Chain A
Amino acid sequence: GDSVTQKQGQVTLSEDDFLFINCTYSTTTYPTLFWYVQYPGQGPQLLLKVTTANNKGISRGFEATYDKGTTSFHLQKASVQESDSAVYFCALVKVSGSFNKLTFGAGTRLAVCP
């Protein structure tokens, strides 16, 4: 079945550090890929989305590139701020008829120290 792997459970950085969160996926097709962000006390919200057509997503300074060769979809940001502290989920979508099923990774908790 489909799966998404995030090996980093927690990442701790200082402000202005470079962020890299690893995500790899396994599926039988070329899926649409997402990064969701979850702030404390809230539900996950869409951060960025990448399809096979565009290969790269950019939002709020975050960037992710779809690499079919390595089946990876890593999240990067050049300079993090304390307000970026949150949990980040990588996900893929599988479409079956009129139904979309999102499969999520385990999440990576980012803590940014001032």
Chain B
Amino acid sequence: EAAVTQSPRNKVAVTGGKVTLSCNQTNNHNNMYWYRQDTGHGLRLIHYSYGAGSTEKGDIPDGYKASRPSQENFSLILELATPSQTSVYFCASGDRERSDYTFGSGTRLLVI
């Protein structure tokens, strides 16, 4: 069954440390996305990708980088983590024809 898998499910990081969140999809979708979810804000787009080798800034990219080394994998990188980046992060994949996305189960990140 086609799916989006995120790892780790939970992560505790120290302020100033580097954090990498990973995402793998078996949907063969060209587009992949990283969102963060915070109470009162819904889901906000951080970075997205059209395909392997491409990354683009979303609505709230500051403090984040992204990497798309292959069709299946899309990573979100926090080079210098801050407590304000404590959140739940969701990866999703999608294609132009369907319009909707398939989401992973999320990564809960706590920066202390």
Chain A positions near chain B (C-beta within 8 angstroms): 4, 6, 9, 32, 34, 41-46, 49, 89, 93, 95, 98-102, 104-107
Contacts and interface: CB of A to CB of B under 8 A. Distances in A.
Given A44-B43, A106-B40, A49 B100 contact: yes
A9 B40 contact: yes
Interface string B71-112: 000000000000000000010101110011101111000000
Contacts, number: 61
A32 B45 contact: no
Given A43-B90, A104-B42, A98 B31 contact: yes
Contacts of A44: 43, 90, 103
A61 B29 CA distance: 29
A100 B112 CA distance: 35
7 contacts: A34-B100, A43-B105, A44-B90, A46-B100, A98-B31, A99-B96, A102-B43
Contacts of A6: 42
Nearest to B101: A102
Main SS class of interface, A: strand
Chain B contact-residue range equals 20 to 34
A50 B107 CA distance: 29
A98 B30 contact: yes
A32 B97 CA distance: 12
Contacts of B4: 43
B99 A49 contact: yes
B50 A99 contact: yes
B48 interface: yes
Contacts of A105: 42
Contacts of B103: 43-45
A1 to B, nearest CB: 9
B105 A106 contact: no
A99 B40 contact: no
A89 B42 contact: yes
